[in-house]
Structure 1
Amino acid sequence: MKQEDKDRKLAYLRSQKDNPTGGYRQLLIDTYNCISDLTVKSGNQYCRTSCADICNVVYGNTHHITMVDKYLYTLKQLGYISIKECQGYTQMEILKKIDF
Structure 2
Amino acid sequence: MDEKTKEDRIQYLRSKRDDPTANYRSYLINTYNYILEDSIKDNKGWSKASSRLMLNYVYKDEPDHMGLEMIDQFKKDLRELGYIKLIKIDNTWRTFIVKELDF
> Does TM, normalized by the shorter one, top 0.5?
yes
Q: 1:54-65 residue pairs with structure 2 within 5 A? A: 54-59=54-59, 60=61, 63=65, 64-65=67-68
Q: Which runs of 5+ in 1 are unaligned?
A: none
Count of residues in correspondence between the two structures: 99
User: Secondary structure at the residue paired with 1:99?
Assistant: coil
Q: Give the structure 2 partner of residue 41 of structure 1.
A: 41
Q: Give the structure 2 partner of residue 51 of structure 1.
A: 51
Q: Give the structure 2 partner of residue 73 of structure 1.
A: 76
> Aligned pair in 2 of structure 1 residues 46, 70: CA closer, same or farther (>3 Å)?
same
Q: Matched residues in 2 for 1:57 and 1:32: separation?
A: 11
Deviation at 1:73, TM superposition (A): 0.3
The residue identity in structure 2 corresponding to 1:81 is I
Question: Which digits, 9 at most, give the CA deviation of each residue in 1:25-45, with x for residues without a partner?
Answer: 011000000000000103122
Deviation at 1:55, TM superposition (A): 1.7
Q: Give the structure 2 partner of residue 96 of structure 1.
A: 99
The answer to whether the 8 A contact 1:47-1:91 is kept is: yes
Q: Matched residues in 2 for 1:8 and 1:42: separation?
A: 36
| Structure 1 runs (4+) greater than 6 angstroms displaced | none
- TM-score of the two chains, using structure 1 as the length reference: 0.87
RMSD across aligned positions (CA): 1.9
- TM-score of the two chains, using structure 2 as the length reference: 0.84
User: Secondary structure at the residue paired with 1:18?
Assistant: coil
